[in-house]
Amino acid sequence: MSVDLLVRKIKEKGNPSVAGLDPKIDYVPQYIRDKAYAEYGKSLKGACEAIWEFNKGLIDALYDVVPAVKPQSAFYEMYGLNGEEVLNRTIKYAKEKGLYIILDVKRNDIGSTAEAYSKAYLGSVDIDGVTEKPCDVDSVTVNPYLGTDGVKPFVDDCKALDKAIFALVKTSNPSSGELQDMIAGDKHIYEHVAELVNKWNEGTTGASGYGAVGAVVGATYPEQAAVLRQIMKRSYFLVPGYGAQGGGAKGVKPCFNDDGMGAIVNSSRGIMCAYKKGDWQEEQFAEAARAEAIRMREDITGIL
């Protein structure tokens, strides 16, 4: 009922970072695309098989370096049923390699519907007495705009099944402040959301000292991150915006506690497209990704 499994894997790897698997088709090396198109056609199926080869190569190169992967659902949904199938294949493969799975879906809805979303990804589905787990991941991201009853079903499944969620608090994008930075009473909206996260996190603290309800806090807003780190003492932070979005190691430091724990930093494009920088050949995409993941590990652990 906590984020302990993730904390353990972060300690094992000595690496508080997560590799985002956001496979835009133009991230995939051309030779992989061409091979897949030759076999399956230049089609949704062809694109998805190329993505699968790419993801598999990345996971093979990264699984002993990073503790976790974060597939971004949008980049699979955009390829329809084939995309969903490759997402499931990717999750299964990454799990077999011992990776912790954070599925980035940012789901949100009213209570009874949020329950269905939670069952889809964290819990299980009852079919007249038969239990099925359609897409079983370790954690998902959720959007807090609907308030407590849209998040509670996820928390219930976290408690029952030892899962975790990360609620959007302060996102990494340029316009995140439009709503999140508004001041209501004496606090920013992101601080109010942080207090809701604390409420949702009650009674879920594990041996690590952290609970099941984490927070998404962008590397691009280090000042806000420092404030949020003080408010949500028992929440792990999932930190997007490192690298390609402009946040560096300095930007992520305030997301961590003094003991170097408390946050996991995501890099998607930086790792996936590492082969496009420097002297790498396309065929070395996995080697390049591994080198970048190691560089990122050193960069982040260096400031902790």
- Which stretch in 93-101, 171-179, 225-233, 279-287 sits in contact with its own copies by CB under 8 A? 171-179
With contact defined as beta carbons under 8 Å apart, do 264 and 68 qualify? yes
Residue 232 CB, shortest distance to its own copies, in Å, is 16
With b for 16 or more beta-carbon neighbours within 10 A and e for fewer, the 183-204 pattern comes to eeeeebbbbbbbebbbebbeeb
- Which stretch in 44-52, 246-254, 273-281, 287-295 sits in contact with its own copies by CB under 8 A? 44-52
Distance CA 29, CA 51 (A): 10
Residues 87-106 that bind its own copies (CB under 8 A): 88, 104, 106
In the block, which residue shows the tokens 């400031």? 303
Distance CA 56, CA 69 (A): 12
Residues 245-304 that bind its own copies (CB under 8 A): 245
Using CB under 8 A as the binding rule, whether residue 180 contacts its own copies is answered as: yes
Query: Which residue of 39, 64, 74, 92 would you call a contact of its own copies, by CB under 8 A?
Result: 74
Query: Which residue of 12, 39, 64, 182 would you call a contact of its own copies, by CB under 8 A?
Result: 182
Residues 208-237 that bind its own copies (CB under 8 A): none
Q: Could you tell me which of 243, 234, 164, 170 has the C-alpha nearest to residue 199?
A: 234
Report helix, strand or coil for 266: strand
Residue 4 CB, shortest distance to its own copies, in Å, is 26
Residues 4-23 that bind its own copies (CB under 8 A): 22
- Compare residues 4 and 104 and give the one whose CB is closer to its own copies: 104
Amino acid present at 238? L
* Catalytic (active-site) positions: 106
Distance CA 89, CA 55 (A): 10
Residue 286 CB, shortest distance to its own copies, in Å, is 21
Query: Which residue of 2, 15, 171, 204 would you call a contact of its own copies, by CB under 8 A?
Result: 171
Q: What are φ and ψ of residue 211, in 5° steps?
A: -100, -170
How many residues in the shown chain lie near its own copies by CB under 8 A? 75
